[in-house]
Amino acid sequence: DAGVIQSPRHEVTEMGQEVTLRCKPISGHDYLFWYRQTMMRGLELLIYFNNNVPIDDSGMPEDRFSAKMPNASFSTLKIQPSEPRDSAVYFCASTPGFGEQYFGPGTRLTVT
């Protein structure tokens, strides 16, 4: 398996623009997690899905953030409108049930 795939790897955008981050989990994994990593706050869980259904989105910072998982092999994290404080590395991770969690390579987002 190719592991968790994320795109784009880098994104630079201007404040106010919409940003969409994409994730393809490992085939057969029924849990998908979105994390944000910054120097100040470390790894923060934003939202996670089980069998494509959002289970806990309490970590989503505000209404500007939204996430979807239309099918078992694809998820998106959208920020609209983006702000400079959203600059961070965003990771997607997947897990098979109560098994090990595997991370993607991340998307480095810079909002100017």
| Dihedral sign for Cα atoms in the order 101, 60, 51, 3 | negative
Start-to-end CA distance of the chain, whole Å, equals 36
> Both tokens of residue 65?
């953030």
Q: Is 12 in the site for other proteins (CB under 8 A)?
A: no
Instruction: List binders of other proteins among 50-109 (CB under 8 A).
Output: 50, 55-56, 91, 93, 98, 100-106
Which residue from 8, 14, 43, 85 is in contact with other proteins, where contact means CB under 8 A?
A: 43
Per rule CB under 8 A, count of chain residues that contact other proteins: 20
Measured from the CB atom, the residue of 12 and 15 that comes closer to other proteins is 12
